[in-house]
Amino acid sequence: MSALEINGFPIDEYNIYKFPQDTKKHTCPLCSEQRKKKNDKCLTIFWDTGLAYCNHCGETLQLHTYKRKNQEKEYSLPPKQEFQYQYSENLIKWFKDIRGISKATLEHFKVTEGKEYMPQVNKEANVIKFNYFIDKNLINIKFRDGAKNFKLYKGAEKIMYNLNAIRHSSECVIVEGEIDVLSCYESGYNHSTSVPNGFNLKGELNLDYITNCYEFFENKERIILAVDNDDAGKKGEKELARRFGAEKIWLVDFEDCKDANEYMLKHGKIKLLEKLQNPKPYPLENVTTIDDNWDQLTGFWKNGAPKGMTIGLENQDNAISFDWKQYTLMLSAPGSGKSEKLDDIVARLIHRYNVKVAYCSVENEPHYIHYNKIFRKIYGRTPNPNEIDSEYVSKTKEFIKDNICHVSFEKRYELKAVLQKFEELVKRKGVRVFVLDPFNKIKNDGVAQSDVNLYTNEYHMLIDEFVKKTQSHLFLVLHPTKLQTKEGSTKTYIMPTAYHAKGGGEHFDMSYNIIGMVRDYERQLIHFRTLKVKFQHLGTAGVDWFEAWNINNGRFNNVEDYDADSTHTPEVKWDNDNWLLPKPDMESQVLPFIDPKDAFEEDDINDVPF
């Protein structure tokens, strides 16, 4: 028998135990040599699922190895080792008496012990080694010393623990520690996996390890979250539900216990198994009660509504901030640089909040030109040819690779197809910020454009549904209808209003935020105005501010103490730092404003943002 794939997993090496083709019974390669009846065919083989089960030792064997999907990076591998289980008496006693874990379970999971340098104590220490496998390949090791210090093998791929056990199951349990996986196994539940590091309350959760092993969850009908019963665990629970989709998620409540291991120790193995087998569905979407909102409500009473994400430029931050489950429109007069400004906002959000971003930017093709703009913003300038192979160019490249990607199509750009691809990026890569650029080139097929209001309304409904479902923020670039220049100027346009946008007044009625911008040629600045901010705690509508564009790197810089009545060109403190370097490696300096048109030939003017 031969097969290209089983359950969606492409086979790499077929029949690794070399069993006779199509046989249904065989001796067990794990226990038969130690038995008196060595020839007893205790192993039942299921070729269709790629598994075999031993009726004597109770182990499940994987018949094949499988190819990895979407591997882009090269990682270090821990050295190959023989897994000989000569555990110290102290280790066996600690696991048995303190954690309720048997020696047989340690052997099943290939838990080992040894000595390892631990940076937290700056010396070599006795450690437990939790070995992370995919098929028979050792991918990573987590080291744990007696003081509960942890580290992973340097440079190794970060994946989830015990992945082999969940490959072919229709459901799995996700816990927050390797010992919780061992506890699930002790209770009789064999399809559990753990995140490689616990959740925390500070900042955004980094779940890159899900991207590395997302293929193991694609076939799951039900994903049961049994994470730690604390605030950090609840935060992780919400993010996992966002990544995998709430419709697949079920929850385990450990009641008076922190985690699976504590619950097993307090209530017993049978009770833990009952908990895992009887989870509760994730709370109903679209239906909430005051209980669901109680923490936010009491926090609002105590501290007021929290401000959203800011970019670090004082003038804009005072005018507007960005929150999840919302979207922001960028509207500007022709040639004002709205796409360039949006790149600046995105780069700053990534740098400040460690969020991942996906673009669908018809205006920024070919993509290498766009990556040049983004690279300059983060690096501080365009790299010289002789430093292309330098450490910090490489570091900037990896930073962008980890945090930014593009969605593109060879043919027509259709909104539903783009949003579907965006949703895949939410699940696979944890993307939370999205850019659609521009509105008029990403079509909403199936809705007649002859009725402008209906077309725009439906467009916004799809975007609103997307950001709420994925708990993300999206930026949409708009083009205006024909604008007039300001009185006394031949180049500077009047500030557009939301009703100047192509697509009708529905843009104003449906959206959360709108930012307008105009390039002010006379003052050599960019003029911004909040045309709409739906929620007062996130900003204020009708606020004007000014910024200057830095030709060295394409960043927008704050212009201090400047208002709409001023007429002079201010001195600007330019930011030319490499954002990925520790401060102060490069000093910002005060330079005269350089008008972009003065730095390029007339034929090249379209290569700059204005």
Q: What is the DSSP string of 101-169?
A: --HHHHHHTT-EEEEEEETTTTEEEEEEEEEEEETTEEEEEEEEETT--EEEPTTB----BTGGGGTT-
Which residues are registered as beta bridge partners of 247?
Answer: none
Distance (Å, whole) CA 3 – CA 305: 57
pLDDT of residue 149: 93
| β pairing state of 112-118 and 123-134 | antiparallel
| Phi–psi pair at 94, nearest 5 degrees | -65, -50
pLDDT of residue 370: 93
Tokens, residue 212: 């590395």
pLDDT of residue 172: 97
As to burial, measured by CB atoms within 10 angstroms (0-12 exposed, 13-18 middle, 19+ buried), residue 91 is: middle
pLDDT of residue 549: 93
Distance (Å, whole) CA 225 – CA 252: 6
Say if residues 32 and 38 touch (Cβ distance below 8 Å): yes
DSSP state of 251: E
pLDDT of residue 71: 66
Identity of residue 262: E
DSSP state of 95: I
Residues of the chain with pLDDT under 70: 1-3, 70-72, 284-286, 504, 583-610
CA 161 to chain centre: 19
pLDDT of residue 610: 29
The Cα-based distances of 238 to 199, 308, 470 in angstroms read: 11, 19, 11
Q: Identify the helix (H) or strand (E) that includes residue 568.
A: none
pLDDT of residue 504: 67
| β pairing state of 51-54 and 43-46 | antiparallel
Distance (Å, whole) CA 265 – CA 180: 11
pLDDT of residue 609: 33
Order of all β-strands in the sheet with 137-145: 112-118, 123-134, 137-145, 150-152
DSSP state of 98: I
pLDDT of residue 311: 95
Distance (Å, whole) CA 32 – CA 23: 17
Angle at 305 between CA 300 and CA 306, to 5 degrees: 120
